[in-house]
């Protein structure tokens, strides 16, 4: 395990159901974990979606494997959210690699 590489602060959010003042349910993103990660920028591209140009980025975040993370969560890094598409464990390094894509909202 190489601890020196985990130098970028990230936050991991999970989706929760809450009730508003009128009693109706809505989903909000709630901070679940604040940790440090190693980041690998895989690729970036511009795509056309509904006659609008959108920047799309694929990023890998490597975190320690004791965090409870699943594919329904999101990573927040430098003010942008990234959707977790896959989680790849590495037992010999005691790490998890979060394969993510930037969320364009």
DSSP structural state of residue 94: T
- Alpha-carbon Rg for the chain, nearest whole angstrom, is 16
Task: Tell which residue, 1, 10, 8, has the closest CA to residue 82.
Answer: 10
In this structure, which topology does domain 3-102 adopt according to CATH?
Thrombin, subunit H (2.40.10)
Domains of the chain: which residue ranges? 3-102
The 10 Å CB-count burial string (b at 16+, else e) for 6-31 is beeebebbbeeeeeeeeeeeeeeeee
**Percent of the chain's residues with pLDDT above 90:** 52
Task: Look at residue 74 and tell me whether its pLDDT is greater than 90.
Answer: yes
Cα 11 → chain centroid: 8
Give the pLDDT confidence of 84-101 residue by residue, as tens digits: 999 999 888 889 999 999
With contact defined as beta carbons under 8 Å apart, do 17 and 29 qualify?
no
Return the structure tokens found at 93.
Answer: 């390094």
Task: Look at residue 1 and tell me whether its pLDDT is greater than 60.
Answer: no
Taking the complete model, does pTM exceed 0.85, yes or no? no
């Amino acid at each position: 395990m190489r601890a020196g590489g985990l130098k970028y602060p990230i936050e991991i959010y999970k989706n929760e159901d809450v009730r508003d003042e009128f009693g109706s349910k809505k989903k909000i993103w709630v901070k679940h974990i604040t940790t440090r990660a190693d980041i690998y920028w895989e690729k970036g591209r511009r795509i056309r979606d509904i006659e609008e140009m959108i920047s799309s980025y694929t990023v890998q975040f490597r975190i320690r494997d004791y965090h409870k993370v699943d594919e329904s969560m999101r990573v927040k890094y430098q003010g942008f959210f990234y959707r977790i598409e896959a989680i790849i464990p590495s037992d010999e390094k005691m790490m998890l690699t979060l394969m993510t894509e930037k969320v364009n909202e």
